[in-house]
Amino acid sequence: MNNGYFDKFLMIDLSSGNSWEAAVPDWLKASFVGGKGYGLRLLYDLAPPQGDPLAADNVLMFMTGPLTGTLAPSMRACVVTKSPLTGTLLDSYFGGSFGPEIKYCGYDGIIITGRASEPVYLWIDDGRVEIRPARKLWGISTLEVNKTIKEELKDDSVKIACIGPAGENMVSFALISCEYNRQAGRGGAGAVMGSKNLKAVALRGSKPVRVWDQGKFLEAVELAYRELKDNPDIKSLTLTGTASSVPFANEAGVLPRRNYYDGVFEGADEISDFGQNKHLWLRSDACTGCPIRCSKMGYLRSGRYRGTVSDIVEYETAAMLGSNLEISDVKAVTHLAHLCDTLGLDSMSAGGAIGFAMEAAEKNLLPQQRVCGHEIKFGSVEAAEGLLRAIALREDGPGILLAGGVRRAAEKLGVQAEQFAVHIKGLETPAWGPRGATGIALSLMTADRGGCHQRGMPLGEDLGGVPWQGRQVDRLAVTGKAEIVIHHQNYLAALDTFVKCDFGTFGLSPATYLKLYHSCTGRSLEGEEGLQALGARIWNMGRLYNLREGINPAEDTLPPRFGEPLPSGPCKGHSFSRDDLKTMVEEYYQLRGWTAKGVPGEETLKKLQLTDTFCRF
């Protein structure tokens, strides 16, 4: 095909061992474009209603977009499934080289169902599919799996997605490692993979991705590169990655400290780009086809963790495993982050779970006060390391307690523990404390996969002085934020059908994305209004799925911790009352065209063409 697509899915049933190719219906491409759009629509159609995420009939999908594998800069791929952590939809994004390789194998996505009777891995070589035994890979780390499979296949260029011990043990926030230092991290896709006895997927492809109008596409690519090169935010990412957000968030008073008790941490600089540049970084690195180069390959050259090779410690990880646990030693935080990667744990949820455990121990609510001989308390690197290993292996005591995530752990410990259990719909919240920014709060409350940092947080408007429609935004205003959040949610959902990298959106204009899409596919979205309409369709599709799976709109709220006044920082004393939250959500529902109960209205669904076609293969 000469339009960015191959118009084929690879279908694999692990229970029977069968695989086949399925044509992509034209209606699916026309209405849902790719990536997140394909994934959510197919999740709704192919997964049984209110099914167990860890049952054989849950579907696990690796999805690309039309721009994945092309020269378009800063593109990615995603994993879509039902989350074992939240029970909601799960779309988790990853960079690197695994996504483009799906396209080079000749597919727009890989759809996996069933459960193998014993551990296996998939070997997909230019469309030829083998299900290979993986018993010898069971129990080893993500890095070891990658190395071992490449040695077995005698090809270092093979691209691999795999799970670590956490995925095998079906920890609810286990990740999928998609080549070195790139992960589909949030929501527990690794546990779904483990539930299928699937240790890894290995790919090798040679098919080129062709575009509709090569001349216009190259012009659009050149324009995109110029925009990225000239943008100051992109220049900052190239220099420091997201680690420079640590001092920014600290100054704004939204950096989580001590299980979100506070928003200011005096050791912030030590775990930021300042500390990382001094102790870790060696050179810049980038994902396939990305000029931003936000990664920083590093090596700890001295101290207890000497010899650790690591990527940059991203903002979210630095905050959740650093300030949130009251750990300011950047070498220790790097070690903990590396341990999460090798064990196959989402570092954000892991940091949230450990912070919860440390506070529970402090309040004498945790049945077991020690792990690996070390007292569970804030500031203890040894306790954090012990808890990570215990969680990944589901060891008796705190390991089993925390392996299901903060929500389930709090339910087991009782009502008092639920007062400081920081999650939204079961997903541990990201490292942006919402008491200092009401737009951030609303985006977290309404995010489609639970408390999430990639669902329209208006950081620029709330914290960066970016005007909205010509006016400055009051960071603590309870009203007026819904239109901003909805705009960003729709825009990002639309671009997640392409599938974009979040950082690329800092530099690329909507017009340039539309030029890339049109010249690649021959299809048009009719300007920014078209992007908004596409995004609204995707967002409402996700809401329909979540409602079908039993999500209660009453969960569109914040955890009790954020009803406590901030003890310090520029927003000292600020908190959210129940009336505040109600006002914010009601305004959001109204502008979304949803009922007072948070259900998309009939007119909204009709306008978005969601009244309803089912996909059958």
Same domain, 124 and 101: yes
Same domain, 246 and 388: yes
pLDDT in tens, 75-91: 999 999 999 999 999 99
Task: Tell whether 94 is covered by a domain.
Answer: yes
Q: What is the pLDDT of residue 467?
A: 96
Q: What is the mean pLDDT of each run of 10 residues along the chain (617 residues)?
A: 92 98 96 97 96 98 97 95 98 95 98 98 96 97 97 97 98 95 93 98 97 97 95 90 95 97 97 94 84 88 92 95 98 97 97 98 94 94 97 95 98 98 98 96 97 92 94 96 98 97 92 97 93 97 96 96 97 96 98 96 94 50
Q: How many domains does the chain have?
A: 3
288: closest CA among 20, 148, 501, 96? 96
Task: Tell whether 613 is covered by a domain.
Answer: no
- Expressed as residue numbers, the domain containing 529 is 434-607
CATH of the domain at 266: 1.10.569.10
Task: Tell whether 293 is covered by a domain.
Answer: yes
Which of 177, 204, 231 marks a domain boundary? 204
Same domain, 465 and 346: no
| Strand ranges for 2-63 from DSSP E | 8-13, 18-23, 60-63
Which of 160, 187, 204 marks a domain boundary? 204
Task: Tell whether 136 is covered by a domain.
Answer: yes
Alpha helices in 427-577 (DSSP H): 438-446, 459-463, 482-495, 510-521, 527-548
Residue 31: Cβ within 10 Å count:
18
User: Is the bond into 499 cis (omega within 30 degrees of 0)?
Assistant: yes
The dihedral built from the CA positions of residue 411, 413, 418 and 422, taken in this order, carries a sign that is negative
Same domain, 412 and 464: no
240: closest CA among 291, 294, 309, 278? 294
Same domain, 143 and 129: yes
Which of 180, 204, 228 marks a domain boundary? 204
User: Is the bond into 213 cis (omega within 30 degrees of 0)?
Assistant: no
Q: What is the pLDDT of residue 333?
A: 97
Are 454 and 348 contacting, i.e. CB atoms less than 8 angstroms apart? Answer: no
340: closest CA among 174, 554, 558? 174
The dihedral built from the CA positions of residue 305, 307, 309 and 312, taken in this order, carries a sign that is positive
Task: Tell whether 230 is covered by a domain.
Answer: no
HEC states along 63-117? ECCCCCCCCCCCECEEEEEECCCCCCEEEEEECCCHHHHHHHCCCCEEEEECCCC
Q: What is the pLDDT of residue 55?
A: 98
Task: Tell whether 3 is covered by a domain.
Answer: no
Same domain, 411 and 441: no
Task: Tell whether 226 is covered by a domain.
Answer: no
354: closest CA among 385, 311, 393, 313? 385
Task: Tell whether 225 is covered by a domain.
Answer: no
Are 281 and 296 contacting, i.e. CB atoms less than 8 angstroms apart? Answer: yes
Same domain, 453 and 597: yes
Q: Which amino acid is at 370?
A: R
CATH of the domain at 24: 3.60.9.10
Q: Which helix (H) or strand (E) holds 298?
A: strand 295-299
Q: What is the pLDDT of residue 614?
A: 39
Same domain, 259 and 317: yes
Same domain, 327 and 382: yes
Same domain, 139 and 265: no
Same domain, 289 and 388: yes
Are 113 and 12 contacting, i.e. CB atoms less than 8 angstroms apart? Answer: yes
Helix, strand or coil, per DSSP, at residue 61: strand
Q: Give the span between the Cα atoms of 547 and 370, in whole angstroms.
A: 40
Same domain, 396 and 481: no
Beta-carbon contacts of residue 396 (< 8 Å; ≥ 6 apart): none
Token look-up 């001590």 returns 258
pLDDT in tens, 454-468: 999 999 999 999 999
Q: Give the span between the Cα atoms of 572 and 208, in whole angstroms.
A: 56
